[in-house]
Structures are given as C-alpha cells and as structure tokens.
Amino acid sequence: MTQRRISIIPKAPVARILMKAGAKRVSADAVDAFADVLQDISLKVAEHAAKIAKHSGRKTVQEGDIKLAAK
C-alpha cells in the first residue's frame, strides 16, 4: 500500500479538467495522480515566480511573474 500525499488541489476540478480533455470516465487513482502532477508543476512555477519578484526588488508576486515563470 502506497502512502498518498494530501493534495491542496480539489479532486472535482481535476476530474473536470480530465473530462474536458476528452476522457469519458476517470478513475479515482487517475485523479489523484493528475492532482499530484499539477501540484508539482504549480509549486515549481510559484517558486520561480517568487524568485523573479525578488530579483525585481518586490515582495509581491505579480501576474507577469507567473507568466514569465510558466514559460
């Protein structure tokens, strides 16, 4: 039995994203796995955006920081 991480991303919106992408049905394990992937990617983008804001002499992360970090 594998231990699951607690996700901060709600499962229902994750399932809706998968359904919107064309899935007819989505298993609970698939939702959990996709939520983990989204959380990992989001954390990396957020950390990079925070570094960009700090480099610009700001404490506040702005929209442009997010867009630049996501590239």
Tell me the H-state helices in the chain. 11-20, 28-55, 63-70
Give the angle 27-31-33 at the CA atoms, nearest 5°: 110
CB 32 within 8 A of CB 4: yes
Note the pTM of the prediction, 2 decimals.
Answer: 0.80
- Could you report the per-residue pLDDT of 51-63, keeping only the tens digit for each? 999 999 999 999 9
> Which of 6-10, 43-47, 64-68 shows the lowest per-residue confidence on average (mean pLDDT)?
6-10
- Could you report the per-residue pLDDT of 8-40, keeping only the tens digit for each? 899 999 999 999 999 999 999 999 999 999 999
Distance from the Cα of residue 58 to its chain's centroid: 23
For residue 3, what pLDDT is reported? 59
For residue 6, what pLDDT is reported? 75
Q: Structural domains in the chain?
A: 26-70 (1.10.20.10)
